[in-house]
Amino acid sequence: MDNNEMLRVSGISKSFPGVKALDCVDFSLRKAEIHALVGENGAGKSTLMNILSGVIPQDEGKLVIDQKIQKFNGPLDAVKAGIGIVFQELSLIQNLSVAENLFAGRQKTNFAGFIDFRNLYARTRELLSAFSESIDPRTPVKNLSIAKQQVVEILKAVSHNPKILILDEPTSSLTHKEIDKLFRLLEEMKTNGISIIYISHHIQEIFRIADRVTVLRDGKYIATRNVAEIDEPEVVSLMVGRKITHNHINRDSSIDRNTPVLQVRNFSHKKYFSDINFEVFKGEIVSMAGLVGAGRTEIARAIFGLLKPSHGTLLINGKKITPNSPVEAIAGGIAYATENRKSDGLFLDMTISENSIAPQLINFTHRRTDFLDQHKIDSFVENTIRTYGIRTSTAQAETRKLSGGNQQKVLLSMWLGVAPKVLIVDEPTKGVDIGAKNEIFSILRHLADTGTAILVISSDLLEIIAISDRVLVVKNGRISGEMPHQEITEKRVIAYASGIASNNS
Amino acid sequence: MNSGENRSTTVQSIAINLLTRVLEVRELMLIVIIIIGGTAMSITTPIFFSSSNFKAILLGLSVEAIIAAGMTILLVSGGLDMSVGSTMALSGIISCIAIKFGIPVFFSVSLGILSGTLVGFINGIIIAHWLINPFIVTLGMLSIVRGLVLILANGVTIINLPESFTILGQGKLFGLQFPIILMFFVIISGDILLRRSRFFRQNYYIGSNEKAAILTGIKVKKVKIINYMLTSTLAGIAGILMAARMASASVNIGTGLELKVITASVIGGASLSGGEGSIAGAFLGALLMGTLINSMNILGIDVYWQNVITGIILITAVILDNVMKRRRESASQ
Ligand SMILES: Nc1ncnc2c1ncn2[C@@H]1O[C@H](COP(=O)(O)OP(=O)(O)OP(=O)(O)O)[C@@H](O)[C@H]1O
Ligand SMILES: [Mg+2]
């Protein structure tokens, strides 16, 4: 017996109707270790973490924590056993303040049973400062950007002082700055003897932070390795069970620099951005990089008619349009895939099939009536599932039951299927595995080649480098830098985003 | 021996499959309950099993079922209308007053129905444009419209209506009163539309995630306003049928009806949080309640108990729904 062992999972199995999500999986975690868990979308990572945190029971298998066999009857048992978890999907209560979310159910009360808010806010500030965050504890969570919400979510788990901290894709909506802070925090926790399970689709992060890595594939345990003794291609080939060929993306060939499809002129908004000027040419993929809160999503939402700019004009194919709502924007040829699939992207209680046709119901009716044509829908959806490699037993499955990455694929498929003039995708590959990521890149490229102008908002610099013909860096609501793809490097983007470099200097 | 065992286990597993299917598809479950209850009643009392009694049951629930078609669409889209009972009275009163003024029946009736449509339009505008909670808006409207009815009728019941009007509620086709025929028409066409037409299916999207529906370019405001107008129009039609059947327009008609209608929809599978429900289910819900009340009448159970029992059924239906959902979820978790 390894005395240094914090957690041992042996022979865990879990089935859902139609899928064996986990098949006799073993896993072990040492004291003061950062252990990465990787695998393709639907490999069973979140399911295993749900079992470890008492959210769902296992069908078979046993959990040993700190040399004691544990049987969880609910999440509270797991908390008591010292397990803290940051779930893949945000789970904060939107209308409550940051402080109330962080200390939900643990607020100190005074003699009359009222919440002692002074104490609550003080403790919140202290916690936030551990992450050098300057969020007002009283802000309602719904007013925070997704990245800040993610930070609050992480701090909430940390505030319970867990012995084991589980992070299920914590960086999928963070920019490099928050990621750096997160990694510093994790290192510090590790030196304090805390064990960490870290799930991510960004393989390079594993090499920065983890000591060991365990790979799952199709619900089965594949291997555990020391990070020092393995390289990126090897991790990937363990994950997918075959060699991944990087699609060669050829750029520039189809860009028509005489035909701007989207032109944004002097776009300004009282609160979020000012003097935004740019265009996207026919066949071009332009990315917007920047820090959290730089205003990129807001610019996209303004183009899509969700936010009214205080002034500025928008031209599609040279014609001025002023969309006041998504309906008008879509009619004008603009499509927008949101960054938040759970809150305003997907219809989680509806089927994959119903989701994938949502933005274009009108194209699925019988020719002369308003009745939906089930045959048309079925063949479209079948094709979608195949193209995007959505892992499901049937198109009639509720979207909620899909793994996070597979949900993201459904969201993207909704909008890529529309073939608009201008496509805006906000964090398109959030939570998507490497294989599917390449697939999505080549679909985006294909769309661009067939004439769509594409605007990508991404926090993932490697993604930006891989896909963009041109990058715009946004800082504090202004475009602070622009570079063609030959000149894009991580360093330069970061320099512009943080204000070290600027175009006019 | 062995094969016999096998056969009995397959029979058993078929039976279990059938049972889970019946429990999962709400409409099937209601049909089974109604058949079982009906059979039991038929055995106990001969009066129950007669075509005249069946017609009486259907006539009794026709008004509720017609309005429930609209209410179900509203519930699916995440909305709700508390003002249907008052609207029903308004349309009855307005058309009867118009008739008394000598306006031809056809125009009087149209006026009555349009008054209903107008109520729905106002509800819809306030709810969809100013984003006010539908429960509050339509609760206010319930009170406003009932007040208007009392003012218009001066508190009295209008009687002595011409036969050209009363025939709308009393006339028959194929031996069935018009309200029953109209009910079947509304239920069947409504169910098909809500299941299959693009326009009405948009309600499921709105009810399951309104923000996402807006982003996918569904005209959420327009659909909502139309829903409220449709429901109130159906309430208006129901009001005319009721006044014609009773040959009088009473100011108290439709009091408390909204609860019965919502109960029917919810028993039929609609959820107050939106995204679920079917019109056929709502009809079966109304049929279940109608049959039960009819049985209680036949068995001589006190009328006051009927309210108690209706409430119990509503709560039971919701609890059952919750338990089933949780079981399905834990089975799939
Ligand atoms: N509640 C559920 N009901 C039915 N199937 C489910 C449910 N939850 C998960 N599954 C299925 O179990 C499998 C594993 O899912 P899981 O969420 O663990 O994947 P994952 O490794 O976390 O993937 P991702 O990287 O996309 O987050 C998937 O096929 C998924 O569809
Ligand atoms: Mg997952």
- Measuring CA to CA, which residue among A62, A58, A40, A142 is closest to residue A96? A142
Distance A402 CA to ligand 1 centre (A): 5
pLDDT of residue A473: 92
**A354 contacts in B (CB within 8 Å)?**
204-205
pLDDT of residue B303: 81
Structure tokens at A116: 């002692």
Q: Which of A46, A89, A222, A400 to mutate to test the pocket of ligand 1 (most atoms within 8 A of CB)?
A: A46
Q: How far apart are CA A288 and CA B95, in angstroms?
A: 63
pLDDT of residue B20: 73
pLDDT of residue A394: 92
- ipTM for the assembly: 0.86
Q: Side chain identity at A216, as an amino acid letter?
A: L
Is residue A235 helix, strand or coil? helix
**Does B332 have pLDDT greater than 70?**
no
**Does A69 have pLDDT greater than 80?**
yes
pLDDT of residue B77: 97
Three-state secondary structure readout of chain B: CHHHHHHHHHHHHHHHHHHHHHHHCHHHHHHHHHHHHHHHHHHHCCCCCCHHHHHHHHHHHHHHHHHHHHHHHHHHCCCCCCCHHHHHHHHHHHHHHHHHCCCCHHHHHHHHHHHHHHHHHHHHHHHHHCCCCHHHHHHHHHHHHHHHHHHHHCCCCECCCCHHHHHHHHCEECCEEHHHHHHHHHHHHHHHHHHHEHHHHHHHHHHHCHHHHHHCCCCHHHHHHHHHHHHHHHHHHHHHHHHHHHCCECCCCCCCHHHHHHHHHHHCCCCCCCCCCCHHHHHHHHHHHHHHHHHHHHCCCCHHHHHHHHHHHHHHHHHHHHHHHHHHHHHCC
Atom of ligand 1 nearest to the CA of A14: 12
pLDDT of residue B316: 86
Q: What is the pLDDT of residues A263-280, one digit of tens each?
A: 999 999 999 999 999 999
pTM of this prediction exceeds 0.90:
no
Angle, helices B26-44/B279-298, rounded to nearest 10 degrees: 20
Residues 6+ apart with CB under 8 A from B174: B181
Whether residue A339 contacts residue A430, with contact meaning beta carbons closer than 8 Å, is answered with yes
Lowest mean pLDDT among A117-131, A336-350, B248-262, B277-291: A117-131
Q: How far apart are CA A444 and CA B217, in angstroms?
A: 22
Scanning A315-356, the segments in alpha helix (DSSP H) are: 326-331, 352-356
**Ordered domains of chain A (ranges, CATH):** 5-240 (3.40.50.300), 245-333+420-505 (3.40.50.300), 343-418 (no CATH)
SS3 content of chain A, % helix, strand, coil (to 5): 35, 30, 35
Distance A49 CA to ligand 1 centre (A): 11
pLDDT band at A419 (very low <50, low <70, confident <90, very high): confident
Pocket of ligand 1 (CB under 6 A): A 16, 19, 21, 39, 41-47, 88, 391, 401-406, 431, 433; B 332-333
Structure tokens at B280: 């056929």
**Does A311 have pLDDT greater than 80?**
yes
- Mean residue pLDDT of chain B comes to 90
Q: How far apart are CA A44 and CA A221, in angstroms?
A: 10
Q: What is the pLDDT of residues A323-362, one digit of tens each?
A: 999 999 999 999 999 988 888 999 999 999 999 999 999 9
The CATH topology of domain B54-324 is ABC transporter involved in vitamin B12 uptake, BtuC (1.10.3470)
Lowest mean pLDDT among A255-259, B39-43, B225-229: A255-259
Nearest by CB to B198, which of A56, A344, A370? A370
Lowest mean pLDDT among B43-52, B248-257, B323-332: B323-332
Residue A283 gets the label, from left (phi > 0), alpha (psi -120 to 50) or beta, of left
pLDDT of residue A245: 60
- Measuring CA to CA, which residue among B250, B281, B55, B41 is closest to residue B157? B250
> Of all residues in chain A, what percent carry a pLDDT higher than 70?
96
- Closest-CA residue, ligand 1 atom 19, reads A42
* Beta strand extents in A17-70 (DSSP E only): 19-30, 34-38, 60-65, 68-70
pLDDT of residue B1: 42
Residues 6+ apart with CB under 8 A from A419: A447, A450, A452
pLDDT of residue B10: 74
What is the per-residue burial (b if ≥16 Cβ within 10 Å, else e) of A2-25?
Answer: eeebbbbbeebbbebeebebbbeb
Torsion on CA atoms B87, B91, B97, B100, rounded to nearest 10: -160
Distance B12 CA to ligand 2 centre (A): 38
User: Hey, are the CB atoms on A347 and B205 less than 8 Å from each other?
Assistant: yes
- Measuring CA to CA, which residue among B168, B196, B39, B23 is closest to residue B110? B168
Q: What is the pLDDT of residues B142-178, one digit of tens each?
A: 999 999 999 999 878 888 899 999 999 999 988 899 9
CA distance B270 to chain A (A): 14
Lowest mean pLDDT among A119-123, A451-455, B11-15: B11-15
Q: Side chain identity at A242, as an amino acid letter?
A: R
pLDDT band at A143 (very low <50, low <70, confident <90, very high): confident
**DSSP class of residue A82?**
T
The A-side interface with B (CB below 8 A) comprises: 16-17, 50, 55-56, 304, 306, 325-327, 329-331, 336, 338, 343-350, 354, 358-359, 361-362, 364-365, 369-372, 401, 414
pLDDT of residue A247: 56
Q: How far apart are CA A442 and CA A436, in angstroms?
A: 10
**B216 contacts in A (CB within 8 Å)?**
326, 358-359, 414
Integer Rg of chain A from CA: 23
Partners of A223 in beta bridges: A215
- Rounded average pLDDT over B23-32: 85
Is residue A160 helix, strand or coil? coil
- Rounded average pLDDT over B180-192: 97
Nearest by CB to A370, which of B199, B209, B217? B199
pLDDT of residue A501: 65
Comparing alpha-carbon positions, the chain A residue that sits nearest to B204 is: A350
Comparing alpha-carbon positions, the chain A residue that sits nearest to B216 is: A359
pLDDT band at A1 (very low <50, low <70, confident <90, very high): very low
Q: How far apart are CA B15 and CA A143, in angstroms?
A: 53
**B213 contacts in A (CB within 8 Å)?**
347, 358
**B208 contacts in A (CB within 8 Å)?**
347-350
Residues 6+ apart with CB under 8 A from A307: A269, A272, A298, A301
- Rounded average pLDDT over B220-247: 97
- Measuring CA to CA, which residue among A270, A178, A177 is closest to residue A477? A270
User: Hey, are the CB atoms on B216 and A370 less than 8 Å from each other?
Assistant: no
Q: Side chain identity at A40, as an amino acid letter?
A: E
For residue A224, the tally of other CB atoms under 10 A from its CB is 14
Distance B72 CA to ligand 1 centre (A): 33
Lowest mean pLDDT among A224-238, A312-326, B319-333: B319-333
Which of A327, A356, A403, A415 to probe the B interface (max B CBs under 10 A)?
Answer: A327
- Mean residue pLDDT of chain A comes to 89
* Beta strand extents in A130-247 (DSSP E only): 164-168, 195-199, 212-217, 220-226
Comparing alpha-carbon positions, the chain B residue that sits nearest to A336 is: B215
Burial class for A226, CB neighbours closer than 10 Å (0-12, 13-18, 19+): exposed
Across A180-189, A233-242, A420-429, B120-129, the highest mean pLDDT is recorded for B120-129
- Rounded average pLDDT over A483-492: 84
Q: How far apart are CA A206 and CA A213, in angstroms?
A: 8
Residues 6+ apart with CB under 8 A from A423: A334, A335, A337, A415, A416, A444, A447, A452, A453, A454, A455
User: Hey, are the CB atoms on B332 and A348 less than 8 Å from each other?
Assistant: no
